[in-house]
Amino acid sequence: GILRLLDEYKIDLKGKHVVVVGRSNIVGKPVSQMLLNKNATVTVCHSHTQNLVEITKTADILISAVGVLEIIKKDMIKPGCVVVDVGTNKVNGKTRGDVDFANVAELTSYISPVPGGIGPMTIACLMENTYELFRLTH
């Protein structure tokens, strides 16, 4: 879903510095490999990363997938950065992301919302893959 979204908005990955915050087996690690396959330069950060702010400020594209409410703040983003928020956090019955959307959005060239961003894209890609598998086997 992340790559599909970037592709849909014609965001070129070749040679871009992508910082992935999160190293889970479900999002962080696989998306890092997929980005490398698209010729992006990838830095993976996690809970033990030192100088996180300095690293995220170098990102052309920042993908946050840690599930920590608003961990990504305005001071962590360079102007024009593309921000993809994969995090989901429930707050008072509402779904919110890893990115402090209201304050970060003004700095970005693109930013994905939570809810309504990567979640629906992921579901659409899963449905497409399921259909394709069915088609190939029947």
pLDDT at 111: 97
Q: Are 20 and 44 in contact (CB under 8 A)?
A: yes
Pairing of strands 61-64, 41-45: unpaired
Q: For residue range 29-84, list pLDDT tens digits in order.
A: 999 999 999 999 999 999 899 999 999 999 999 999 999 999 999 999 999 999 99
pTM recorded for the entire structure = 0.94
Q: Are 88 and 97 in contact (CB under 8 A)?
A: yes
8-34 pLDDT, tens digit per residue, is 999 999 999 999 999 999 999 999 999
Each residue of 121-136: b (16+ CB within 10 Å) or e? bbeeeeeeeeeeeeee
Tell me what pLDDT residue 14 has.
98
The count of other CB atoms within 10 Å of the CB of residue 115 is 12
